[in-house]
A and B are shown apart, each in its own frame.
Chain A
Amino acid sequence: MCEVLFVPVTRRPLWLTFFDSMVPAGFPSPAEDHRGEKLDLNRLLLPHPDSTYLVRVMGDSMTGGESGIRDGALLAVDCQLRALSGDVVIAVVEGQFTVKRLVKRAGEAWFLVPDNPSYPERAITEPDLFDVWGVVTHVVTEIRRGRLSAHVRVS
């Protein structure tokens, strides 16, 4: 199973320079004349600041699948989106948070499905005890250990 923990959303833009022209190697850079707009990662990851929360995942029930959610991943969760079948969601099951893929199968049967096949899936049999808290829109993981790792449990 997974554990989820919450971290803050700051809206200070992070500006990266975007070069919109190819820069040939070994040649004086003509990029000075072609400086493009600055890219704001927040605009990409957090388009709705008032409904987006950052959460962190603990556990490996979502590893191995196409979502790419590893132990320690940082997730952007947008609560204004309506969850569709196939979305990865932060669900509340009997008062507890969990992160799983929400899947609709034949008829009206809904399931919470882990990406990691070694974990069991769970049918939503009692809708009263189930709620979608938010829809996961982005996954941030770290390839080389950096600041993100400082807030992640090292297992």
Chain B
Amino acid sequence: MFALVDCNNFYVSCEQAFQPQLEGRPVVVLSNNDGCLISRSAEAKALGLKMGEPYFKIKPLIQQHDVRVFSSNYALYGDMSARVLHYLSSVVPEVEMYSIDECFLDLHGMEAYQGDLSKLAQAWKQEIKRRTHIPVCIGIAPTKTLAKLANRLAKKTPSLEGLLYLNTEQCRQWALEQTPVEEVWGIGKQHTQKLWNQGIITAAQLAGQSEGWARKQLGGVVGARLVRELQGTPCQQLASSEDGGPSRKSIAYTRTFGQPLSDFHIVQAAVAHFASKAAEKLRRQGSAVNMLTVFISKSRYGTEPPPHTRSAVLTLPLATSDTTELLRHARVGLKRIWEPGGVYKKAGVLLDGLETAGQQQLLLFEPNEQAERRASLMAELDKVNQRFGKGAVRFAAAVPRERGPAPWAGQHQFQTSAYTTRWEDLLWIRA
């Protein structure tokens, strides 16, 4: 058996956990740069506020109904997510963190020792609520795909009280009939249309198809697996790593600018900043990288014709996690795609081709001694920044020339404090 634990309205719930006066009120959280809605309380959903809607569009509605608005506060959400994960890993043998607010659990063999799984899951739900003040829904089923489906129903059906266990054949059949085919995990937009054209509109109808049919219609072995999972045969296991987090295949740091930028030096500093951040992430997980992509984007809503995004991919001679090296390559990449006179809205740096640091392929003529000294320099840099705060020591290339906030920095007008991760950033709660 597998379970999917999903935090309800996670970002909003994190805010509510530390501001109980928000309970029962319409609350929304905005994406990076205060762009779009990315989390809504039940009350906000009831007002008709939609996921992904741009903030400027819904401003009137928000003012009219006195909706509380927050900028995203990832320091807080990350810490709360880790607390949920930490608790779950203490009660089940294996956990796969699927996203910041969802975990798969492997419940294999637990029933024999611990008894009824729905009772157990009920207890987990209550414990998570008590420890983190975050409500969760749990779906339990023989396969990951069905667990995901059960979770969705648990969330949508108030009478289930946030918990659905597909333990019988009738139960599974009922759940499949309740689920539109486009809501099945792994069915994308493309397949949806195809399935509709063939008259398949529920998950039950899809589960009724043969494996051969699925292989032909839904992209080979992936489709076949999907249908078998719906039929109750597990084809996917947990992809868990030692620390519970997924091991990354690539690292990206991309941001929409707080304001449109057209000065090369400013954009270059922004790209350098993003590259240094990505490099820090890289070193934190002990990896080195041999491919670097830089991209810059113009506004999609502007008057300029496409393409709105230009990118440069660079293959590095030697896998590295050295910020200096990555900055050098990032600048070369940016120069290659820069068009004078363009107005840019967004930029990003992607690091690909991760290798374990210290085990990368060596160049024949590379002076190794220097590489070692550079590695220890980077380690010292990270230590200093860890001790004295993020960005205490930075590369000059990543520092804007003018004083004050970086011109590319995003807006977060409505940000709450990092209540659980920063001494200086304290929230006041009136008693």
Task: Give chain A's interface residues, CB within 8 Å of chain B.
Answer: 1-9, 48-51, 53, 56, 58-59, 79-80, 92, 95-99, 131, 133, 151
What is the chain B residue whose CB lies nearest that of A8?
B421
Report the minimum CB–CB distance from A23 to chain B (whole Å): 33
Answer whether A51 and B132 are a contact pair too, CB < 8 Å, given A59-B431, A96-B21, A131-B20: yes
Q: Are A8 and B418 in contact (CB under 8 A)?
A: yes
* Residue B83 is within 8 A (CB to CB) of chain A in the complex: yes
Complex Cα distance, B424 from A137, in Å, reads 23
A contact residues around B428 at 8 Å (CB): 3, 5, 58
CB distance from B38 to the nearest CB of A (A): 23
> How many B residues touch A, CB cutoff 8 Å?
31
CB of B429 within 8 A of CB of A5, answer yes
Which residues of B are interface residues toward A (Cβ below 8 A)? 18, 20-23, 79, 82-84, 86-87, 90, 127, 130-133, 417-424, 426-431
* Distance A95 CA – B25 CA, assembled complex (angstroms): 11
Q: Are A79 and B420 in contact (CB under 8 A)?
A: no
Asked if residues A51 and B131 are in contact (CB atoms below 8 Å), the reply is: yes
15 new A-B contacts, CB < 8 A, other than A8-B79, A80-B130, are A3-B429, A4-B429, A4-B431, A6-B420, A7-B419, A9-B420, A50-B82, A50-B87, A51-B83, A53-B419, A53-B420, A80-B127, A92-B20, A95-B20, A96-B429
Contact of B133 among A8, A96, A133 (CB under 8 A): A133
Residues of B within 8 A of A131 (CB): 20
> Chain B residues near A6 (CB, 8 Å)?
18, 417, 419-420, 426-427, 429
8 pairs, CB–CB < 8 Å, chain A vs chain B:
A1-B431, A3-B429, A7-B426, A50-B131, A51-B83, A95-B23, A97-B429, A133-B20
Which 3 residue pairs spanning A and B have beta carbons closest together? A95-B21, A51-B131, A98-B431
A79 in complex: contacting residue of B20, B21, B133, B431, CB < 8 Å = B133
- A89→B20 CA distance, assembly (Å): 15
- Complex Cα spacing A99 to B82, Å: 26
